[in-house]
Structure 1
C-alpha cells in the first residue's frame, strides 16, 4: 500500500485466464481510467493516481501478463499489440467494467490503447497517450536488439538487468535517483518477468500502429497527447505530427521531462489527464 497525493493507493488482483492480473487502484467509485504501461510496468502511473482520484475518477493501472506483479508469462504470440489488447479487454470484463471507459497508454501501452479504440474492443470514450509509440517510431534500438533470436539466447540475467538499468535511468531523466531506479528494476529480478519482457521486445513491430492510421484519421473520439519534451526514445516531433494529422487531438508539452513525465512533473501530468477525462 502506497500513498500518492494523500490518497491511499491499493495493489490488488483479479483472475484473468486463470492467472492473477495485478493492478494499482484507489478504493472509490467513479468513472474508470484504464492506465496501460509498455516496456516498464504499472509503477509508471503511481505518481498520478492520487491526482486522478481527487478529480473523482477511479484509476486502474494494470500490469500486463508476465510483467510487473502479474502472473503468467508472455511468448512471442501473446506479446503482440493485438493479443495484449484482447487481454486488456478480458481484464476489463473481469473487473466488470462496462460502458464508456477512459484509456491512457504510455510507451507500447499507447499502441495497445490505440488498438482498443480502433478495433472497438472496449467502448473508449476518451484516449490519452503519454510519450507513446506512434507511426513508425518504434521499436527503439534498446528494444529492437531483442528481436534478434541469437541475441536473446545469448544474454545473461546480469546483462539484461544492466541494459534495463541504462534504459530506466535515461527514461527517468531528472528523476533518476538510485532508490527510484531500484524500484523500477525490481520486477526484472524474476526470471519469468525477464522472459516475458524479452518476448514483448521481440514482438514489437511498428506495423501495429501504422495499420491503425486509416481508422485514426477518421476517428472523432477526443484524444490528448501528453509529452515529456526531452524524451530521447519517443521524440516530441512524433507527437506534433499526430496532433496535426489525427482529428480531435490536443497536445500538452511537459518541459524538462523525459520518457516518463509522470515522475518529472506528476502534478502537471495528473492535472492534464484529470481535466481531459472530466471535461
Structure 2
C-alpha cells in the first residue's frame, strides 16, 4: 500500500492555499507544481511518492481548491515561481526537489535556474523552449476572448482538453473531479489569466542559466502527447546538461495512463535507487 494522501490548507500572503500532502515531515521535501490543470494530476502517484518523500502538491491562488484569484500579472511564470517559494517558506522547507507538469514545468525550470534551492528536478510533459502556448491556450491572450468566455464555455473546453490529455477513457467521476474547480467564476478567471500570461520567452530566456546550473533533471513523458510533443523532450535532454528522458505510455497526463511507471521514474531519479519499493 502507498502512503495516505491528505488535503491541507496553509495561508500564504493572506490567501488560503490548498495542497495535497503525502509522506512524513522528516522525509526529503518534493514540491509538485501544476499547470493548466491543478493538483488532481498528481493524485495517482502521491501514495507511491509519499513512501520516500514529503510531497507537497499545491494549488495556486484561484486554482483547484485554493482561495484567491490570479491576475495576468500574478500568473506569469516568475510570479508563480515566487508563490512556490512562499509556500516552501511557509511550510518550513529550505532546499527541495521539484516536479512540474505543463506550465508547472516552466515554473520548475525557473526555480531551478534562479532560486538556488532546487536539488533535483523532474519535468513531466512540460512546456519548454518555444513549445507553448498551444492554440487553445494562446487564444486567451485576447482580452475580448476572456471577457466573452462563460463558465459553461470553459467547462466544455476543459472537458475536451482533459479527455484529449489521457489515452484511456476517463470515467464520468474522474472527469467530474478534473472539472470541479471551473464551476466557480473566480477559478475560471484565474485559469484564463494563466492562459493569458503564457509566453515562451519565460522558458527560452532560462536556457543559458539552466545549462550553467545543470540541476540533475529527469524528463518523464507520455510519448503520445498531442500538446507537448516528445521532440521537445529529446531536444531538452540533448541541450541541457544533467538531463535524461524516460518515455512512458500515455498522453499529456501520464499519471493517469501509467501511474506506476511515472512514480518509479520520479523516485529512481530523486532517490538514486535503481529499484525503489513502491
Q: TM-score, normalised by structure 1?
A: 0.95
**Root-mean-square deviation over aligned CA pairs:** 1.0
Distance 2:23 2:245 in 1: 30
Instruction: Give how far 1:177 is off.
Output: 2.5
Say whether 1:261 aligns with 2:261. no
Distance 1:204 1:140 in 2: 9
Say whether 1:188 aligns with 2:185. no
Distance 2:161 2:167 in 1: 10
Instruction: Give how far 1:269 is off.
Output: 0.4
Say whether 1:271 aligns with 2:264. yes
Unaligned runs of 5+ in 2: 273-278
Match of 1:82 in 2: 78
Match of 1:248 in 2: 242
Instruction: Give how far 1:219 is off.
Output: 2.4
Match of 2:37 in 1: 40
Contact 1:26 1:58 in 2 (8 A): yes
Distance 2:214 2:2 in 1: 36
Distance 1:182 1:236 in 2: 28
Q: How many pairs are equivalent?
A: 271
Alignment of 1:83-122 (within 5 A): 83-98=79-94, 100-120=95-115
Distance 2:82 2:207 in 1: 19
Helix, strand or coil: the match of 2:101? Answer: strand
Distance 2:169 2:243 in 1: 28
Unaligned runs of 5+ in 1: none
Say whether 1:69 aligns with 2:65. yes
Distance 2:270 2:184 in 1: 35
Distance 2:268 2:143 in 1: 44
Say whether 1:139 aligns with 2:133. yes
Note the alpha carbon deviations across 1:64-123, whole angstroms, 9 max, x for none.
Answer: 11100111100011010101111111110000101x310000000000000011111x51
Q: 2:49 aligns with which of 47, 52, 56?
A: 52
Q: TM-score, normalised by structure 2?
A: 0.95
Helix, strand or coil: the match of 2:166? Answer: helix
Helix, strand or coil: the match of 1:262? Answer: helix
Moved over 3 A (4+): none
Distance 1:230 1:166 in 2: 17
Note the alpha carbon deviations across 1:184-209, whole angstroms, 9 max, x for none.
Answer: 00010011100100001001000100
Distance 1:157 1:244 in 2: 41
